[in-house]
Amino acid sequence: MEQYQLFIGGKWVEAQSGDRTESIDPYTNEAWASVPVGNETDVDLAVKAARDAFEKGPWCTMSQSQRGRLLINLAGIIEKNIDRLAQIESRDNGKLIRETHTHLKSLVDYYIYFGGLADKVHGDVIPLSKTSVLNYTLREPIGVVGAITPWNSPLLLSTWKAAPALATGNTIVIKPSSTTPCSILEFAKLVEEAGFPPGVFNVVIGPGSRIGNYLAKHPGVDKISFTGGTETGKQLAEIAAKDVKRITLELGGKSPNIVFEDANIDNAVMGAMAGIFAACGQTCSAGSRLLLQRSIYDEFLDRLVERTNRIKMGNPIDWATELGPLANRTQLEKVQYYVDVAQQEGAKVLLGGKRPEDEELNKGLFYLPTILTNVDNKMRVAREEIFGPVLSVIPFDTEEEAIAIANDSDFGLVAGVWTNNIYRGHRMAKAIRSGTVWINTFRNANYASPFGGYKQSGYGRENGIDVIKDYTQVKSVWVETDEQMRDPFVVG
């Protein structure tokens, strides 16, 4: 069994309590790694290490280009470890190797992009009406970032936080999900090898409701960056509000994937599959509501069912596998719960709706790809995030109706639009209230393009140049160049 330790202040350490837990491989349903369980003292130590690194150097005295250079070094080291890390993450959370491998390759680009950006972050000289004053701004790091991440894509989503946070001179304490802690601990070994000073990057593991909460409240943490469920996000927003901490929230979704009769149907079928069966539906950007124009409803579903029936379920480490297990037992139970609720509310199971009967698959946490019809947008299954391979299909007649159904949601993370009509595509992009709209594609993300939510899908953005604003603050500096002192009783 693999043995892991916490990474605090540049050292590998046991949890202060000495407690350990096991990480379960969702394919075998067996423990494969032993991980320390941190408590409040471990968080105190990690935050202190991050504070010291932020305030006392060498990190805080490095030039921006030196810090950028470290991120680019890290990118090179990641590149040599793609296969190993992808295997570990697939083992820890059951995600397909073809997806974790792609994530790992993209991490190289993320660290190069943000490493390159590090020395391009600067303030401005501002022309004022008062010409004797030199006014300039400094764009400065916020301080210690407490990053709390979910189990579905631990390394990718930690990178969305760590790369911009470090590129702008902050330090970070990451608390990954306790159900998938291993890949980020492996990743910390690469950070160490890249030569980051001790305390710049720390990882603590432990239950979210206890140590995630404690980290967010910690007076030594200046900014919370959270990716996870909306209910947890709301609690963290309250914590941040109490102490006026900066916070970025990347939360859940119930995203529409809208297919018009004028779409390329073959591509749209693939897009519907990408939306809900890729990553076993365990993605914030799942296209879990499929809105089909009524004129193509039957034909589209026939084709979707035919292709879904050919999905290859199996070991996520096998490159041919298309659908792996759910990441943990709670999630498996949640999926079944929602399928049951949907049926009680009048939905029909067109496909799936249960666990596979195959004996081999049944050892793992598998659930059949599921398509529900007769779904009304008012049903819970169309309103609440399931985070599993469950697709709710909703018909519509007109473009206006599609927009109304798409926007009738508490969430607004992503949306897909399938049409060959360029006018309609752009009209839809404008009308839909979500942070991302994909036209004739689905499930794209890139280091250079902003990602984040409208409505209860969160606030703040990750990726792209704009994210720099979320990890920096602006100081305005005024320098009087006129030796004559101004009237002290008038604001100037």
Q: Least distance in Å: CB of 463 to ligand NAD?
A: 10
Which of the residues 73 through 102 are near ligand NAD (CB under 6 A)? Answer: none
Of 387, 306, 286, residue with least CA distance to 351? 306
Pick one of 148, 240, 274, 290: the residue that binds ligand NAD (CB under 6 A).
Answer: 148
332: tokens are 């498996």
- Spatial CB neighbours of 447, under 8 Å, sequence gap ≥ 6: 106, 109, 110, 113, 114, 163, 463, 464
Per the annotation, the verdict on 250 as an active-site residue is yes
- Output the smallest distance, CB 411 to ligand NAD, in A: 9
Distance between CA atoms of residues 447 and 386, nearest Å: 27
Based on CB atoms, which residue is closest to ligand NAD, 73 or 178?
178
Q: Which of residues 195-254 bind ligand NAD (CB under 6 A)?
A: 208-209, 212-213, 216, 227-229, 232, 235-236, 250-253
| Residue of 385, 416, 417, 438 that binds ligand NAD (CB under 6 A) | 385
* CA–CA gap between residue 453 and residue 429 (Å, rounded): 15
Residue nearest to ligand NAD (CB): 208
Query: How far is the C-alpha of 448 from the C-alpha of 459, rounded, in Å?
Result: 18
- Give 118 or 215: the residue with its C-beta nearer to ligand NAD: 215
Q: Which is nearer to ligand NAD, 183 or 232 (CB)?
A: 232
The CA distances from residue 350 to 73, 142, 233, 308, 356, in Å, are: 50, 51, 34, 11, 15
Which residue in the list 284, 322, 385, 462 is annotated as catalytic? 284
Our CB check for ligand NAD shows the closer of 114 and 226 to be 226
Query: Rounded to 5 degrees, what are φ and ψ at 408?
Result: -80, 75
- In angstroms, rounded to a whole number, what is the distance separating the alpha carbons of residues 115 and 227? 22
Terminal Cα distance for the chain, rounded = 68
Q: How far is the CB of 425 from ligand NAD (least distance, A)?
A: 24
Q: Please tell me the count of residues contacting ligand NAD according to CB under 6 A.
A: 30
Q: Is 463 near ligand NAD (CB under 6 A)?
A: no
Cβ-based neighbours of 166, under 8 Å, separated by 6 or more: 67, 70, 71, 114, 172, 196, 200, 201
User: Which residues, in sequence order, are CB contacts of 340 under 8 Å at separation 6+?
Assistant: none
Shortest Å distance, C-beta 366 to ligand NAD: 19
Would you give the distance in Å from CA 101 to the centre of its chain?
17
The number of angstroms, rounded, from the C-alpha of 359 to the middle of its chain's C-alpha atoms is 33
For tokens 């719960």, name the residue.
337
Residue 217 CB, nearest approach to ligand NAD (Å): 9
* Element counts in the chain: helices (H) and strands (E): 16, 23
Report 272-291 residues binding ligand NAD (CB under 6 A): 284
- Give whichever of 197 and 233 is closer to ligand NAD, judged by the CB atom: 233
Burial class (CB in 10 A: 0-12, 13-18, 19+), 489: exposed
Peptide bond into 325 cis (omega under 30): no
215 or 313: CB nearest ligand NAD: 215
Element (H, E) at 246: strand 246-250
Among residues 21 and 149, whose Cβ is nearest to ligand NAD?
149
Site string for ligand NAD, 394-433 (x = CB under 6 A): -------------------x--------------------
Q: According to CB under 6 A, which one of 21, 39, 100, 152 is a site residue for ligand NAD?
A: 152
Single out the residue of 143, 145, 154, 142 nearest to residue 205, CA to CA: 154
Using CB under 6 A, which residues numbered 23 to 82 contact ligand NAD?
none
Binding of ligand NAD at residue 338 (CB under 6 A)?
no
Closer of 108 and 326 to ligand NAD (Cβ): 326
- How near is the Cβ of 263 to ligand NAD at its closest, in Å? 26
| Least CB distance to ligand NAD at residue 22 (A) | 16
Active-site entry in 89, 99, 186, 250: 250
Candidates 54, 201, 387, 447: give the one binding ligand NAD (CB under 6 A).
387
170 binds ligand NAD (CB under 6 A): no
E-assigned strands of 304-413?
A: 348-351, 370-373, 390-396, 411-412
Residue recorded with tokens 């470090």:
166
Residue whose CB is less far from ligand NAD, 229 or 356 = 229
Residues with active-site annotation: 250, 284
Q: Which residues bind ligand NAD (CB under 6 A)?
A: 148-152, 157, 175-178, 208-209, 212-213, 216, 227-229, 232, 235-236, 250-253, 284, 385, 387, 413, 458
